[in-house]
Structure 1
């Protein structure tokens, strides 16, 4: 039992883990997570997880593509489907009385897809369009370049959607084979946040997912790869702005050090009053957009700095970014007052997650798919309270070294 929510867990006979959290709200949220994403794909399979996510909405044994979309719309809530590095998520959030028909839809598309051949080439074209749109977006384009520059063998060098060449070459048989390998109940987790008792949800899960057949699932060994300390410059046609990305990995940190890094990241560039925002935008007027972000997910462990600006300001901005990093490492930019504010910001973000059914459902699912303690955030909160300025400075010195730096200029600059 946790301080913030109580959860119950049952594993069905076929291996599907069902976890429920009972709340007093009128809203439910249900999400099914399958432990397959781009980190589990071989080099000749990149983009297959994402392609399957799209194809599952194209038809089942009892629903056409039109029926699926209509049935989701009739729930009157919201639905989500997306692929990450580590998993693929399917979820619906709506009024509590819509839970059962929503589980019916989620189970149908994930356990009884037909992969209609007539939809296959069309959907590949849709994803190719999605990839091209990403390349037209300067921020996405810059990050794609940075990832390819930073890594040699890691899954992180690949876009989750794969690339156009691979997608064009995939056959429907490859997609079906990949689906059969990974879409198994013993490789999935169902989470439900709702007003219903655990037993009621388990009964629904048995009804809609109980016939899903289990099978042994191959799990690829994931090897972590530190970013390369290298600088890349790329020129791109028809852009008005240039971009700068600094990329760091932090695989060697303890969880306590990661929490210290979260505080540092908020101070550096994630909060509205961050150092990067104040110096590059407010003081110098060099940029409209500047931020840092951090992903502490298993096997990812990335901290990034990003900004877009005029080409003539790139070197000035780089000088300021380097000076800020030095200031964090020597401690003069880290003040006790700011540390306390950043701790409050992180606590507020956690509290917001706990009271929103969809966010809580997603948090629980992420923890379970990664085989982590559901209540680990409570330990993190206790750790957060005791993090010192000296620990933040130490983690800055440990992480903010040897970045991958990617700069994109207009072709004429």
Structure 2
């Protein structure tokens, strides 16, 4: 059972006891990501996430790492377009100390100038690694086509020009604006007792926001833009991403979208995988996926092929899409997709870390928690007509295309 406790300052604690495990997963979730950045701050949410590991007044970066090693646990973090999360998984009896370390990192990080200089180099290397990985780079470039005038279309990592300007004052301004009690969720799942809730209240329930009327980055729903971006690169494959506008995270039809994804390209039995790879041998990698955020969503198809096969790959993708738009989906496809989705959902809840992530994200993004049986019922309630109607809404309109390929392949394409 998922329980919720609200501290006096508005910090939310969501907790789920799992009596059959000995682990405890604990995450600090902040509603702050790259889509909340002003143009001059591009990449700062991700930079702050890195810097939280670089030392406090009481602990050096090495000490933080060594303490978690001694606890036999692990610590990690991520930044997305809308969320920053720092989390750990430890044995239940080590939870109080792990929590205290995370709180020290969250509230007392030094943001030392020397450490910031070193970490800027690390992140610039990370950006370079994306550019060296065409299947990542082609996706980043697609988002910039789809949402060119909104921060949600910009890379989470930022860019060299902005990263070089980050200093303590910019970090403090961003955190004052967004690291506030109303945007903070502490999610725990696994082996714990009520004393841990009290310790969270003690550590996180007293800080206040000094900027209640803060001005956030553009929170309007961005307008999807169609278009094509092509990048010539001397590589062995052509990498292609096709993007469509999809659903926001709170849209009630999200399970229709998940099932559409599974049927079209999200599984080995999907139409794209079977037609592109198994029947025609056009690509080793072909799949679809969706992303849903507060203000925007996307449905994306990716394919990587030999350069000479790229035009046929695009034509085949279009024909597979047309087949769904014209005829809808079969009963067998719907049944198989539902069983796959339910299986993945239920099997994914067997670890404390997966439950912590689910509960933290649901609280922060949706402010609600459906029961497991409730989610299964929603999946079972989806019908073929609902998926067909959503497919026509999403896939029959405007689209954006991103391609990275050798020059010869680029010259063969005409959009």
CA deviations over 1:128-181 (Å, ceiling 9, x no partner): 110011110011111122112222212232100111111112223212322233
Question: What's the counterpart of residue 314 of structure 1?
Answer: 310
Q: Which stretch of the first structure deviates more once superposed, 381-390 or 103-112?
A: 381-390
Question: What's the counterpart of residue 223 of structure 1?
Answer: 220
Q: 3-state DSSP class of the match of 1:354?
A: coil
Question: What's the counterpart of residue 65 of structure 2?
Answer: 69
- Contact 2:27–2:187 (Cα < 8 Å) also in 1: yes
Matching residue within 368, 371, 380 for 2:363: 368
Determine whether 1:20 maps to 2:20. Answer: no
- Contact 2:249–2:292 (Cα < 8 Å) also in 1: no
The gaps in structure 1 that reach 5 residues or longer are 1-5
The gaps in structure 2 that reach 5 residues or longer are 410-415
Q: 1:277-316 counterparts in 2 under 5 A? A: 277-316=273-312
| CA distance in structure 2 between the aligned counterparts of 1:336 and 1:88, rounded to whole angstroms | 40
- Contact 2:248–2:297 (Cα < 8 Å) also in 1: no
Question: What's the counterpart of residue 92 of structure 1?
Answer: 88
Matching residue within 135, 143, 151 for 1:155: 151
CA deviations over 1:259-279 (Å, ceiling 9, x no partner): 212111101111121111111
Q: 1:201 to 1:359 in 2, by over 3 A?
A: same
Offset of residue 81 of structure 1: 0.6
Matching residue within 229, 232, 238 for 2:229: 232
CA deviations over 1:90-109 (Å, ceiling 9, x no partner): 11012111111110111010
Question: What's the counterpart of residue 53 of structure 2?
Answer: 57
Q: 1:212 to 1:292 in 2, by over 3 A?
A: same
CA deviations over 1:231-268 (Å, ceiling 9, x no partner): 332212x3111111110112489844332121111011
Question: What's the counterpart of residue 413 of structure 2?
Answer: none
| CA distance in structure 2 between the aligned counterparts of 1:253 and 1:298, rounded to whole angstroms | 6
| CA distance in structure 2 between the aligned counterparts of 1:201 and 1:353, rounded to whole angstroms | 25
Determine whether 1:273 maps to 2:257. Answer: no
Q: 3-state DSSP class of the match of 2:86?
A: strand
Q: State TM-score, norm by structure 1.
A: 0.93
Offset of residue 48 of structure 1: 0.7
Question: What's the counterpart of residue 3 of structure 1?
Answer: none
CA deviations over 1:275-315 (Å, ceiling 9, x no partner): 11111111111111110001223223111000111111111
| CA distance in structure 1 between the aligned counterparts of 2:113 and 2:248, rounded to whole angstroms | 46
Q: 3-state DSSP class of the match of 1:328?
A: helix
Offset of residue 378 of structure 1: 4.7
Determine whether 1:327 maps to 2:332. Answer: no
Q: Which stretch of the first structure deviates more once superposed, 243-252 or 154-163?
A: 243-252
Q: State TM-score, norm by structure 2.
A: 0.93
Offset of residue 412 of structure 1: 4.7
Question: What's the counterpart of residue 137 of structure 1?
Answer: 133
Question: What's the counterpart of residue 388 of structure 2?
Answer: 393
Q: 1:403 to 1:336 in 2, by over 3 A?
A: same
CA deviations over 1:187-222 (Å, ceiling 9, x no partner): 21111112223x322222134334534434524451
Instruction: Say how many residue pairs are matched.
Output: 405
Question: What's the counterpart of residue 176 of structure 1?
Answer: 172
CA deviations over 1:15-49 (Å, ceiling 9, x no partner): 22112111111111000101111111111111111
Q: 3-state DSSP class of the match of 2:403?
A: strand
Q: 3-state DSSP class of the match of 1:108?
A: helix
